[in-house]
Structure 1
Amino acid sequence: MQALVIGSGGREHALAWKLLQSPQITRVYCAPGNGGTQQMPRCQSVALAATDIEGLVRFATVQGIRLTVVGPELPLVEGIVDAFQAAGLPIFGPSRAAAQLEGSKLWAKQLMQEAGIPTAPAAGFADLSEALAYLDSRTPSGKGSYPVVIKKDGLAAGKGVTVAHSREEAVQALEAALAKPGERVLIEEFLAGQEVSVLALTDGQTCLPLLPAQDYKRLGDGDTGPNTGGMGAHAPADHLVTPQLLARIQAQVLDPTLQALQRRGIRYQGVIYAGLMIAPNGDPYVLEYNCRFGDPEAQVILPLLENPLDEVLLACIEGRLADLQLKWKPGYAACVVMAAPGYPDSYERGIPITGLEAAAATGALVFHAGTRQVGKQLLSDGGRVLCLTGQGATLAEALRQAYAAVEQVQFPKAHYRSDIGSRALGPAVRRGVVPAS
């Protein structure tokens, strides 16, 4: 069976890598892929953009593709699943209507409020003066309370959220979010606690949660600096999400989300990604939804999955998820992202990269996020460039393997966090020392 993976990042490299482990998969095409997918046996890059829906439908039809997996959110929001289904092509991902769960933060917040799903109080605005008036009206003093969360409606590649610690910061975020006609913004109460990602597979009727993962979104150590698409992750996040809490998340978040979509006449098939805040008292609250595999969460969840990925995804597409039991390898996975200098703002491209064979010799998995191959030379071609994933019987072992791989990579001026895992293992990791198991 031939499969098609749409996208060009580390998540898509991980998806292609996992699909190729299945005995049923003969070849994987990646559109457009990257320098890493190009190097894998039985994997071929296709010069089609992830948003070229017409071209991708034509390619899948001519090539006889029996499974397509959509990595990034933009083609989902633009209706690629609807187009593939209309052409009779099996595709994993939500329809355009269902992808509003990520495509519009206001739409998702309204759905949560209607369904009684635990989430922060919030209000949406399209007018700057009304937003500023609300900002100041949130306390009797008329000065508001801080921090407050400003969320730009619509897709923002994981970087559309500002935690404003002052009125000045909040005003700047609101002005930026409402700079163009038709734009909208969400002003949300700040929630304290630890963030965790719980991704679930669904065929529209059944919801199966994957291993909980913890993502490190801020650019710098100690959760400092701007938000990014993710600088590292580890799974399972069992230091925070116990089996009891996961059952509660399914009962209070995942199942009610699916039921709320059903009430709106929407069949959601694909991944429901709940970005959660676990409050100090242990209560879960939804911060946001995504409608696809996370990046870098996929790079730590997929290596631990024992089931062939094609069987799992086809069970979702064909409505057979209730008959499937997910199986997981024992142990942990942890990844560290190496980013280009300047990321997440303006960043350099075309930086030579070497040392990847030595990195792989540590036992770590080397997923390419933003690379391209020019002749025999591998060059950086994105903000997040590489994702090094380690595995081990303990989280500490997995982290040691990941960081050992990072040390082998020659990538001038690369930026990475040295404290991935610190929320689970403590402040010693922030000093660059992974505690002994």
Structure 2
Amino acid sequence: MQENILIIGNGGREYAMGLVLKDDKRVEGLYFAPGNGGTHALGTNISAIKHTDILESIKKYAITLVIIGPEAPLSEGLSDFLKEHNVRVFGPSLAASRLESSKAYMKDLVSQAGIKTARYMQSSDVKTLSEFIYTLTPPIVVKADGLCAGKGVIIAQSHSEAITHTKEMLSGKAFGNAGMRVVIEEFLDGYELSVFAISDGKDFIMLPACQDHKRLLSGDNGPNTGGMGAYTPTPLCDETLLEKIKKDIIAPILDMMRKQGSPFVGVLFGGIMVCERDNELEPYLLEFNVRFGDPECEVLMPLLQTPLLDIVTHAIDGKITQLECKMKQKYAVAVVASSKDYPYKSSPAVPISVKEFDMNLGHIVYAGVSKTESGEILASGGRVLLAVGLADSLSLARDNAYEIMRHISFDGMHYRDDIAFRALGK
């Protein structure tokens, strides 16, 4: 069967999925809603944003499959809406998406499931939260309950700083309605991993663990961002550790979701903190997201040996365990180039210059870009693009990513120079 596929979203994650689907001979047409200035080269961009407009576009272009990339449309019930209109869609329901759209709900559910996580308190009352803050030893984690595009987490260095940030969130000044309920957590010391399970509502398969780099500046300095780079596979997660994550974190939450009548179908993304306890590495859950991470998706997609289309359709059809998900025996490193003022404010659109480079090194993924009428690609703000390096070793993949980046320039361009430093030691 030939497929006409619509990918919902406009970032690097959606571009990366489109890049692998474009080369699948079973894909007749590829569409993006709304897409970005780079996805024009992969398929057709559709301006539809509202649910009803998306449905009209599905009918117009004879779409046979919809893949929802970002968290926002999932939290707005797009998956449910499309299923009600007999559209095949890959993405969890509104009820299942609460795992990401409400950190308070997620933490409570995780505790009920007996999953290891940081000690916490969730409330909208500043007095209750302040009392809990004083039971913790700084640094202290302050989280807005709702969706904040990866920026709603603050690491406070003192009790007073934690209370100040809590008050700012609850007042609506910091993150609007997303911060009207706050989660306070103890700080866990260790290293972070991103893990991804593809679930069909009953069973699941795991993809290789990735490591993201949230801080803006090299050396893990500066403010949190949506992610400045990622790599996979990582030597910081062996089979023993991955099995612990699978058994003690992923399986229990999917079982809980199914038992409470909200079976999870789609990509479950676990943010994991690995801590040393009694000379053993123990995984603790930081948070769940309900879609591929960005920039993790950009390093996972080019390593898929099993086609993405097969993974998606097997999940939708409840047959994920009938699929053997194979990965290429390679490494991928993605380095994000961001705009001048990211993440503080938007930047004016500026032209991007890309000099010719050896395509064997890897490729470019476009994200925060627009396209002029003459076809020129502009850096339009935020995380603009990613240089993705591929190789047989992690060190060479990183070298390849930075070699590609040296061929790219735009006014105000910023990127970290140390992606994968925890694995490579420099």
On whether the aligned pair clears a TM of 0.5, the verdict is: yes
Whether 2:48 is the aligned partner of 1:56: answer no
Deviation at 1:63, TM superposition (A): 2.0
Who is 1:345 aligned against?
Answer: 344
Who is 2:312 aligned against?
Answer: 313
Offset from partner CA, 1:12-56 (integer Å, 9 cap, x none): 00011111121110111011111111123xx1111123xx21211
Matches of 1:359 and 1:224, distance apart in 2: 30
Q: How does 1:121-200 map to 2 (within 5 A)?
A: 121-136=119-134, 138=135, 144-180=136-172, 183-200=180-197
Q: Describe the shift of the 1:4–1:171 C-alpha distance in structure 2 as closer, same or farther (beyond 3 A).
A: same
Aligned length: 415
Matches of 1:36 and 1:257, distance apart in 2: 36
Q: TM-score scaled to structure 1, two decimals?
A: 0.93
Q: How does 1:264-283 map to 2 (within 5 A)?
A: 264-280=260-276, 281-283=280-282
Supply the AA of the counterpart residue of 1:170.
A
Who is 1:36 aligned against?
Answer: 38
Pick from 95, 100, 103: which aligns with 1:102? 100
Whether 2:194 is the aligned partner of 1:202: answer no
- Secondary structure of 1:26's counterpart equals strand
Q: Is the 8 A contact 2:13 2:294 kept in 1?
A: yes
Who is 1:424 aligned against?
Answer: 423
Deviation at 1:360, TM superposition (A): 6.1
Q: Is the 8 A contact 1:48 1:56 kept in 2?
A: yes
Matches of 1:385 and 1:168, distance apart in 2: 36
Deviation at 1:362, TM superposition (A): 5.9
Matches of 1:285 and 1:135, distance apart in 2: 20
Runs of 4+ in 1 over 6 A off after TM superposition: none
Who is 2:227 aligned against?
Answer: 230
Offset from partner CA, 1:292-349 (integer Å, 9 cap, x none): 0110000001110011111110111111111011011001000000000111111313
Who is 2:74 aligned against?
Answer: 76
RMSD: 1.3
Supply the AA of the counterpart residue of 1:135.
I
Deviation at 1:130, TM superposition (A): 2.2
- Secondary structure of 2:361's counterpart equals coil
Q: Is the 8 A contact 1:364 1:401 kept in 2?
A: yes
Who is 1:141 aligned against?
Answer: none
Whether 2:328 is the aligned partner of 1:329: answer yes
- Secondary structure of 1:178's counterpart equals helix
Name structure 2 gaps, 5 residues minimum.
Answer: none
- Secondary structure of 1:279's counterpart equals strand
Q: Is the 8 A contact 1:359 1:406 kept in 2?
A: no
- Secondary structure of 2:254's counterpart equals helix
Who is 1:257 aligned against?
Answer: 253
- Secondary structure of 1:292's counterpart equals coil
Q: TM-score scaled to structure 2, two decimals?
A: 0.95
Deviation at 1:133, TM superposition (A): 2.4
Q: Is the 8 A contact 1:9 1:33 kept in 2?
A: yes
- Secondary structure of 1:298's counterpart equals helix
Matches of 2:14 and 2:357, distance apart in 1: 20
Question: Bigger CA drift: 66-75 or 340-349?
Answer: 340-349
Matches of 1:248 and 1:9, distance apart in 2: 32
- Secondary structure of 1:272's counterpart equals strand
Matches of 1:106 and 1:48, distance apart in 2: 32
Identity of aligned residues (%): 38
Q: Is the 8 A contact 2:356 2:407 kept in 1?
A: yes
Offset from partner CA, 1:158-210 (integer Å, 9 cap, x none): 11001111123212320221113781000001000000000110000111111
Matches of 1:6 and 1:361, distance apart in 2: 28
- Secondary structure of 1:282's counterpart equals strand
Deviation at 1:387, TM superposition (A): 0.7
Who is 2:24 aligned against?
Answer: 22
Supply the AA of the counterpart residue of 1:106.
A
